[in-house]
Amino acid sequence: MVSMTKSFIMLFFSITHNLSANMAKASRVTGNLDINVLLSFVFGVVFVTAILIFSLWIDEPKPFQQWTFIIVLALAAGGVGAVIPGILNVDLPYVKAGGALALFTMVLIMKPQIIATAAKVTPPTASPTAAVKAYLENVDVNKIDDAWELLDDETKLGVARDRQAYRDIYASGRKVLGKVLRRDDIGLQEVQSPSGYPIGVYRTITFRTKFESGECHQESVMLRATDEQQWRVYLHSVSPTTIPCIEK
């Protein structure tokens, strides 16, 4: 799987390569180098350089950074479109554009498809069951520090920024429910890089969990995997609302 930044780089190289070929062809035919062609070529090279610089520091772009990549890509597409012969028009209810502006608009409109294609992660071949089991076993016996170690790195940058923060979350939520008597698997869902989340493939395993109070709650464990092909716990939640207990 090619990361989103690498995909953008490959696309920009393709654009500049084609533009160079067109410039060479134009020079052979007319014997002159049009200033507009030259400026457009320089314009494309500048934004290729910008993408390369960004990629040195950003391996998994956040939503704002994704918008930055898309806008740079759209600007480069518009610059190249200004020197490619032909006619292109975009006629939508909220925008009408032609030529370079049409290409710029099309890239912006297609942002979700570009992100989904460039950021697609191949799910690990290993089942996430082992990761879930190890995590929940630690939580169930109050080994919160060990459970924290099994969390995804992105989670550790957020609400579970350190062990003490995670202990506080556990004490105010999960701990008050007491000992787990039974945990039944009732659902599985998989999504690719959902909006607002870090890039990766996500699997959410849902349980009907019975606690020592005799009440049952819906419990969910979301796991995330990246190019490293390793499942790690991204989110763990227990609904405060009780659900019917179904004894098997």
What is the C-alpha radius of gyration for the chain, rounded to an integer number of angstroms?
A: 25
pLDDT at 11: 47
15 vs 196, which has greater pLDDT?
196
Domain-wise residue ranges, the chain? 4-118, 129-243
Average of per-residue pLDDT across 52-81: 74
Q: Minimum mean pLDDT among 44-53, 133-142, 167-176, 227-236: which range?
A: 44-53
How many other C-beta atoms lie within 10 A of the C-beta of residue 152? 22
What is the per-residue pLDDT for 32?
60
Q: What is the pLDDT of residue 27?
A: 43
What is the token pair recorded at 16?
């500049």
Of the chain, the percentage scoring pLDDT greater than 90 comes to 31
Specify the pTM: 0.61
Task: Say if strands 89-92 and 95-98 run parallel, antiparallel, or are unpaired.
Answer: antiparallel
CATH class of the region 129-243 = alpha beta
What are the tens digits of pLDDT across the range 209-226? 999 989 999 999 999 998
